[in-house]
């Protein structure tokens, strides 16, 4: 009775769950043009995930896995291997590389379990892994975004406010899998924490980071709430902190549409996904995409603070997992849809899936 009454009151006033407000970007998250002004980078079609394997930087793009090499001519991507299915996540340990595919399979290359293929597939459920990480040499932790939709339909899952995602622990020797947490709202990034027995998971649709026990099922604990966007992959920075990439911004109009079931359902059933009122990875689309009032161009210029459905944001977290610094690509930039971000040798490597670029940002200049 009380929850029903509360939801009615909330809907009327616009508070609680019915609140459409989005946290402002302030403090450590104050917007800048760091990603837009970053000069070094190279073009690659839809780069998704990053990892470092045996000193080589690898990036997944579609069905191909590329290694980034510095040559005299500059930086270039060399095709390492092409697979039959779309790669949705990659991770590396000292010797081994894990490649996760859209059909729920995870392939291990190198190390003791070279060639092993683990399947997460389960009848009747979608098991599309969105992020994967090694927990020591013998175990893997995998995020599955949603049990209803594959990753390609992430906008649908977001608009329906889905929370059917799960986190799994897989024993590489026995191929047994344990579900560490279920009912999550699109876990999209995973990383082991320094204490050895917990992992950090980014719960995208609830725009927060969760800490889970890495060994057995437990209820998650939120460690960083109210992010201004939807978090994606996490990578440790080697000194106890982490780098978090956010692939899309939170938008008040999208939050409104999420709470208008009639319009939302009609929109999803009658319009092409590119034209939905939903976050997007790409910055410039056709004029058939929805426009918001603040996005009107005057004299050909778009205000950097205009309401936008896409954004590029990378946040550096300290040991306490609080934001310390951030790099942005604002509304008028093009390096949006940053899905993954890796720190290596004083440089930050960022995959901008919407901008079709890999960026190298110098960390020394950042405060």
Partner 1 sequence: MSSVTLTKLRYRYFPDHLVGEALSKRWIDNVPAVIWLLVVLAIFGSLIPNFFLVSNLIDSTRQLGETGLVVLAMTVTILSGGIDLSVGSIFGLANITMLVLLNIFAWPLYAAIPATLLVTGCIGLINGILVGYLRLRAFLTTLVTLIIVRAVVDMLLLNYAQPVSAANFDSPVWDFMGDGDIFELPFSLVLYGVVAIALHVVLSRTRPGWRILAVGGSRRSAHNVGLPVRRTICGTYVLSGLLCGLAGILYAARSNSAGSEVGLGLEVVAIAAAVLGGNSLGGGRGSIAKAIIGTVTIMLVTNGVVRVGLHSGGGSMVLGAVLFLAVFTDIRWLKHRHKLLSRVYVSPTFFELGALPDTTKGSISPYAINNRLGDVELIGLGTIEHPEDVIFDSNDNLYCGDRRGDLVRFDAPDYRRQQVFAHIGGMPAGLACDKDDNIFICVAGMGLYKVSPDRAVTKVTDETNRSFWSIIDDSRLRIADDLDIAPDGRIFFSEATVRYDAHDWPVDALESRGNGRIICYDPKTRKTHTVLRNLVFANGVVTAHDGQSILFCESWGCRISRYWISGPNTGKLERVLENLPGYPDNINRASDGSYWIAMLGMRSPALDLALRMPGFRKRMARRLPHDQWLYPNINRGCVIKITEKGEVIDVLWDESGENHPMITSMREHKGSLFLSGITNNRIGRYRLRDANPAWTSHDSYWGVTA
Binding residues (CB under 8 A) for partner 1: these are: 14, 20, 251-253, 256, 260, 262-263, 266-267, 270-272, 275-277, 287-300, 307
Cβ closest to partner 1, residue 14 vs residue 27: 14
Closer of 17 and 122 to partner 1 (Cβ): 17
Residue 332 CB, nearest distance to partner 1 (Å)? 13
Residue among 113 and 309 whose Cβ is closer to partner 1 = 309
Please give the Cα distance from 111 to 88 (Å, whole number).
21
Q: Which is nearer to partner 1, 251 or 326 (CB)?
A: 251
Within 10 A of 114 (CB to CB), how many other CB atoms are there?
Answer: 12
The CA distances from residue 154 to 2, 183, 227, 319, in Å, are 33, 16, 18, 31
Q: Give CA–CA dist 9/112, Å, rounded.
A: 58
- Least Cβ distance, residue 306 to partner 1 (angstroms): 8
Q: Is the dihedral of CA 20, 25, 31, 34 positive or negative?
A: negative
* Closer to partner 1 by Cβ: residue 239 or 305: 305
**What is the Cβ-side half-sphere exposure of residue 114, based on CA atoms within 13 angstroms?**
5
Closest CB 250 distance from partner 1, rounded Å: 12
CA proximity to 35, closest of 310, 319, 321: 310
Residue closer to partner 1, measured from CB, 110 or 290:
290
CB of 256 to partner 1, least distance (A): 6
Q: Which is nearer to partner 1, 219 or 298 (CB)?
A: 298
Closest to 209 measured CA to CA, from 136, 135, 131, 138 = 131
* Strand, coil or helix: 241: coil
Q: How far is the CB of 289 from partner 1 (least distance, A)?
A: 7
In the complex, the smallest distance separating the C-beta of residue 327 from partner 1, rounded to whole angstroms, is: 25
Answer for the pair 144, 132: CB distance below 8 angstroms, yes or no.
no
Q: At closest approach, how far in Å is the CB of 288 from partner 1?
A: 5
Strand pairing report for 64-71 and 50-53: unpaired
Apex CA 168: angle with CA 164 and CA 169, to 5°?
A: 170
């Amino acid at each position: 009775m009380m929850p029903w009454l509360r939801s009615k009151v909330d809907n009327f006033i616009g508070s609680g769950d019915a609140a459409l407000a989005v946290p402002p970007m302030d403090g450590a998250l104050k917007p800048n043009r760091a990603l837009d002004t970053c000069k070094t980078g190279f073009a690659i079609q839809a780069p998704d995930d990053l990892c470092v394997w045996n000193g080589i930087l690898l990036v997944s793009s579609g069905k191909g896995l590329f290694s980034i090499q510095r040559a005299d001519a500059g930086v270039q991507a060399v095709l390492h291997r092409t697979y039959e299915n779309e790669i949705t996540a990659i991770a590396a340990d000292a010797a081994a590389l894990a490649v996760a595919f859209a059909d729920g399979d995870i392939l291990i290359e190198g190390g003791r379990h070279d060639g092993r293929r683990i399947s997460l597939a389960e009848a009747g459920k979608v098991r599309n892994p969105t992020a994967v990480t090694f927990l020591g040499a013998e175990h893997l932790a995998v995020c599955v975004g949603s049990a209803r939709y594959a990753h390609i339909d992430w906008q649908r899952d977001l608009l329906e406010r889905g929370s059917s995602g799960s986190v799994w622990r897989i024993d590489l020797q026995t191929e047994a899998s344990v579900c560490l947490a279920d009912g999550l709202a699109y876990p999209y990034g995973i990383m082991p924490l320094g204490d050895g027995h917990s992992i950090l998971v980014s719960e995208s649709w609830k725009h927060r980071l969760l800490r889970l026990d890495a060994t057995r099922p437990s209820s998650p604990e939120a460690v960083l709430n109210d992010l201004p966007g939807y978090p994606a992959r996490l990578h440790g920075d080697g000194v106890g902190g982490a780098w978090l990439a956010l692939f899309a911004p939170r938008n008040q109009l999208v939050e409104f549409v999420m709470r208008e079931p009639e319009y939302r359902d009609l929109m999803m059933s009658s319009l092409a996904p590119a034209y939905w009122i939903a976050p997007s990875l790409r910055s410039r689309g056709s004029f058939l995409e929805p426009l918001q009032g603040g996005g009107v161009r005057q004299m050909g210029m778009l205000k950097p603070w205009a309401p936008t459905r896409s954004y590029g944001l990378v946040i550096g977290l300290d040991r306490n997992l609080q934001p310390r610094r951030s790099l942005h690509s604002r509304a008028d930039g093009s390096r949006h849809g940053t899905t993954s971000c890796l720190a290596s040798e004083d440089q930050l490597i960022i995959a901008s899936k919407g901008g079709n670029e890999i960026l190298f940002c110098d960390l020394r200049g950042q405060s």
